């Protein structure tokens, strides 16, 4: 099936976004439908339906909404023109209606002028209500407001009806402004999208093209002050790159010929030419943007619950309204039907769960945007929500708690027919095919030439080492387990070289703990989180690292499958609670564990696409303290969502009670309703601070 993506232009109401998604999902000709209220994106797959067909379905729910191509969409411009028109209409309508009420005219003339004013004010609401009713026989907020206004007019509350529609329209305009402002602040936080690339077309000529047009193998030029648009390798020149938009840390990063450069960073100083190694689609910057924009597609439990609750809210309030209108005069003889109908109309005014429907998804979007800015990519609202409930974290050791930058301490030769250089050479030959931090460190430290084609049957033995054949000799490189060597003699991280049946030597390695790790773990402990270390390394090293970090629970000599089982046990322990278990790793040979954990967190995301894919939360830097930051953002987001829910629901219940006993005016209800929506949106903005 073909995949399509459009922007839902003029979609203001989060509630409608949910309805649009639901209705489209029910259509059998559409698959994988997604509507994102925050980014206004609609995506689906289909073979049979045209854009017009889909637009028609969308408009049966929200008549104002149109589908526009993603590329042609400029949110700012389009919004401005519509809201200016709305403001003018509002002012003119209001003036005419007031003239109708206050001008000393004969009764009939005054009423006619008033009705004209009403109609101008009600224009948009009535139009939407009628359109929707004709296309799908449904009623919505617009319909209810229209009824309330006309109702107020008919029971003689002319001024009241006028206030209702005016306040409602002002609320709508402010609301769409506030939502756009929030969306803009969030996208500004993530302002890493490159606008162009300087494509080199001849020795001293280049032209600006859009990043999508550049192909693998092309050469692009990045001048001082420009963004790196696509991933590549430096061919010529050198530069200092600012990666803060990716990592949240403003460290300058120096690159020269042969170095890999990731898109999204900014060239602070220098001039470089890059050979493009990935197309834009697969470049780091696009991967990150996609991830953040789609993150809120994955709904958190709170959100699903709120969606369900708001679906029954409207029918319940409408039902209550009917009861109030019918029963009040029967219960209390002092109340007339015109009075009880008026009170019931107030119920209709507040029957839209708008404040809640908007503020919850917007809060998650803000939390995710805020974390991205700090170099923490969270892949879904549910993970953002779950971070605050973490009770235990298991850490991988190498490359996670330690730097993963090994130094060679010593080379042992056990078989005198070889020398140190031979031991190192066998090691390097194997490691040059591995991705493990050990391999990367050794290759960086040594400079041994050999023919890569001589290395045959290379196999990585996850969590233990590797094997290959060379000149018909079977060679094993790895820990004592792999080569069957007496464990007791092992000190430090040692990798052994076994040639056929004999262990001929070993390379001793040393790794250091990352700076700031102990403090970061202490802070996690203060939050009541239990820390564990899971490592494939030997017991002595594991204990030493654990002692230094004051971690009590440490398990060593684990294969990736052992880590998997140990984590499974942990998760089982918290099965029927709200507590979550996280695993933190570097994405190398621990992808299954990252996937199994309630929250899989990978570190050092810059540079590793596989880590970005395997985990739920990607920390772009090497700093463990980012986990604390992520948990704090999670807590703040959830606190603000709770505040908004309690405030919105509280005010609505209060108004329902006041209007039942006759103490609330209809205009107060509208004021409270739109006011609550605005206040919750503004409160949501606090997450970004
Ligand atoms: P950790 O759990 O600390 O991240 P791993 O599971 O990645 O460690 O690896 C466990 C052990 O296996 C390492 O300490 C090392 O002894 C051995 N090992 C793994 N990969 C390699 C490799 N490419 N070369 C040599 N030894 C390796
Ligand atoms: Mg590891």
pLDDT band for position 621 (cuts 50, 70, 90)? confident
From residue 591, how far is each of 211, 283, 528, 582, 638 by CA, in Å? 31, 21, 26, 13, 29
Distances (CA, A) of 507 to 310, 427, 496, 503: 64, 8, 6, 12
Output the residue whose Cα is nearest ligand 1's atom 8: 536
Q: Is 258 left (phi over 0), alpha (psi -120 to 50) or beta?
A: left
| Catalytic residue annotation | 396
The pLDDT score that the predictor gives to residue 78 is 47
% of residues, the chain, pLDDT over 90: 49
CA distances (Å), origin 537, targets 169, 503, 541: 66, 19, 7
Q: Which of 331-340, 510-519, 612-621 has the lowest mean pLDDT?
A: 612-621
Mutating to test ligand 1, I would choose from 436, 455, 484, 590 the residue with most ligand atoms within 8 A of its C-beta, which is 436
Q: How far is ligand 1, taken at its centre, from the CA of residue 561, in Å?
A: 14
Residue of 402, 461, 510, 536 with the most ligand 1 atoms within 8 Å of its CB, for mutation:
536
> Which DSSP string corresponds to 473-541?
EEEEEE-HHHHT--GGG--SEEEEEEETTEEEEEEEEE--BPTTHHHHHHHHHHTT-EEEEE-SS-HHH
Predicted confidence (pLDDT) at residue 526 exceeds the cutoff of 60: yes
Q: Taking a C-beta distance cutoff of 8 angstroms, is the pair 521, 551 a contact? A: yes
- Cα–Cα distance measured from residue 567 to residue 556, given in angstroms and rounded to the nearest whole number: 14
- Which range (115-129, 241-255, 318-332) has the least confidence? 241-255
Domains observed in the chain: 2-73 (3.30.70.100), 78-187+296-362+640-688 (no CATH), 197-226+231-277 (2.70.150.10), 376-402+513-620 (3.40.50.1000), 407-510 (3.40.1110.10)
Give 446 or 63, the one with higher predicted confidence: 446
Q: Supply the residue whose CA is at minimum distance from atom 21 of ligand 1.
A: 465
Ligand 1 centroid–CA 313 distance in Å is: 56
Q: What is the pLDDT of residues 148-174, one digit of tens each?
A: 899 888 888 888 889 889 988 888 888
Examine the pLDDT at 274 and tell me if it is beyond 70: yes
Higher-pLDDT residue of 27, 76: 27
pTM as predicted = 0.84
* pLDDT above 50: residue 77: no
Q: Is the model's pLDDT at 471 over the cut of 90?
A: yes
Residue 3 has pLDDT above 80, yes or no: yes
| Calpha distance 612→590 (Å, rounded) | 13
The pLDDT of residue 486 is 79
**Ligand 1 nearest-atom number relative to CA 538:** 14
Ligand 1 probe mutation, 402, 423, 442, 464, most atoms within 8 A of CB: 464
Identify the H or E element spanning 630: helix 625-660
Ligand 1 binding residues, C-beta < 6 A:
396-398, 431, 434, 436, 438-439, 463-466, 477-479, 493, 495, 535-537, 589
Question: How much is the pLDDT for 620?
Answer: 87
pLDDT in tens, 358-405: 888 889 989 998 998 888 989 889 999 999 999 999 999 988 999 888
619-643: average pLDDT: 95
Ligand closest in space to the Cα of 483: 1
What's the pLDDT score for residue 503?
94
pLDDT tens, position by position, 181-231: 777 777 776 677 888 999 999 888 899 998 989 999 999 999 999 999 999
Q: How far is the CA of 598 from the centre of ligand 1 (A)?
A: 25
- Percentage of residues in the chain having pLDDT higher than 70: 96
| Mean pLDDT, range 567-595, rounded to an integer | 91
């Amino acid at each position: 099936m073909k995949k399509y993506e459009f922007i839902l232009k003029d979609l203001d109401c989060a509630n409608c976004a949910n309805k649009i998604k639901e209705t489209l999902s029910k259509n059998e000709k559409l698959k994988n439908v997604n509507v994102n209220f925050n980014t206004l994106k609609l995506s689906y797959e289909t073979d049979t339906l045209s854009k017009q067909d889909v637009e028609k379905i969308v408009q049966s729910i929200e008549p104002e909404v149109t589908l526009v191509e993603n590329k042609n969409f400029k949110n700012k411009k389009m919004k401005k023109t519509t809201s200016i028109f709305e403001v003018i209409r509002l002012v003119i309508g209001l003036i005419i209606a007031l003239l109708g009420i206050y001008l000393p005219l004969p009764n009939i003339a005054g009423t006619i002028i008033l009705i004209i004013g009403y109609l101008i004010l009600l224009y948009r609401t009535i139009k939407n209500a009628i359109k929707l009713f004709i296309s799908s026989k449904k009623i919505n907020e617009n319909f209810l407001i229209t009824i309330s206004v006309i109702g107020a007019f008919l029971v003689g509350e002319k001024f009241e009806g006028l206030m209702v529609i005016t306040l409602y329209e002002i609320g709508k305009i402010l609301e769409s402004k506030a939502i756009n402002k929030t969306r803009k602040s969030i996208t500004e936080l993530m302002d890493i999208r490159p606008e162009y690339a300087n494509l080199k077309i001849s020795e001293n000529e280049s032209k600006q093209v859009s990043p999508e047009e550049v192909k693998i193998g092309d050469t692009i030029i990045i001048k001082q002050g420009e963004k790196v648009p696509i991933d590549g390798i430096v061919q010529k020149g050198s530069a200092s790159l600012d990666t803060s938009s990716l990592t949240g840390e403003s460290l300058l990063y120096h690159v020269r010929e042969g170095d890999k450069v990731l898109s999204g960073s900014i060239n602070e100083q220098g001039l470089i030419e890059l050979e493009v190694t990935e197309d834009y689609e697969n470049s780091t910057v696009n991967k990150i943007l996609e991830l953040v924009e789609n993150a809120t597609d994955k709904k958190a439990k709170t959100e699903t619950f709120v969606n369900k609750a708001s679906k029954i809210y409207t029918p319940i309030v409408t039902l209550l309204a009917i009861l109030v209108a019918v029963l009040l005069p029967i219960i209390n003889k002092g109340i007339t039907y015109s009075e009880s109908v008026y009170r019931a109309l107030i119920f209709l005014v507040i029957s839209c769960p708008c404040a809640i429907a908007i503020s919850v998804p917007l809060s998650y979007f803000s939390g995710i945007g805020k974390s991205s800015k700090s170099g923490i990519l969270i892949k879904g609202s549910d993970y953002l929500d779950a971070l605050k409930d973490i009770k235990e974290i298991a850490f991988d050791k190498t490359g996670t708690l330690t730097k993963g930058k090994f130094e060679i301490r010593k080379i042992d030769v056990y078989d005198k027919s070889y020398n140190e250089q031979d031991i190192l050479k066998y090691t390097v030959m194997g490691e040059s095919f591995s991705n493990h931090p050990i391999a990367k460190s050794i290759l960086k430290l040594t400079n041994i030439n050999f023919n890569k084609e001589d290395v045959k049957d290379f196999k990585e033995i996850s969590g233990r080492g590797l094997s290959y054949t060379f000149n018909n000799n079977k060679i094993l490189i790895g820990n004592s387990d792999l080569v069957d060597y007496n464990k007791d003699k092992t000190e430090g991280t040692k990798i052994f070289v076994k040639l056929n049946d004999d262990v001929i030597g070993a390379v001793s390695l040393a790794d250091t703990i990352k700076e700031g790790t102990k403090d970061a773990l202490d802070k996690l402990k203060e939050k009541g989180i239990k820390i564990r270390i899971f490592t494939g390394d030997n017991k002595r090293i594991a204990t030493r690292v654990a002692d230094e970090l004051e971690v009590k629970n440490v398990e060593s000599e684990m294969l990736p499958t052992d880590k998997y089982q140990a984590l499974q046990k942990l998760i089982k322990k918290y099965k029927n609670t709200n507590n979550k278990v996280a695993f933190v790793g570097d994405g190398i040979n621990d992808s299954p564990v990252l996937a199994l954990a309630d929250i899989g967190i990978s570190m050092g995301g810059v540079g590793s696409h596989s880590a970005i894919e395997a985990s739920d939360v990607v920390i772009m830097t090497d700093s463990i303290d980012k986990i604390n930051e992520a948990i704090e953002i999670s807590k703040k987001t959830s606190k603000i969502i709770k505040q908004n829910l309690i405030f919105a629901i509280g005010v609505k219940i209060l108004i329902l009670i006041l209007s039942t006993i006759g103490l609330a005016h209809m205009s107060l209800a509208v004021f409270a309703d739109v006011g609550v929506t605005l206040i919750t949106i503004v409160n949501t903005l606090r997450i970004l601070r």
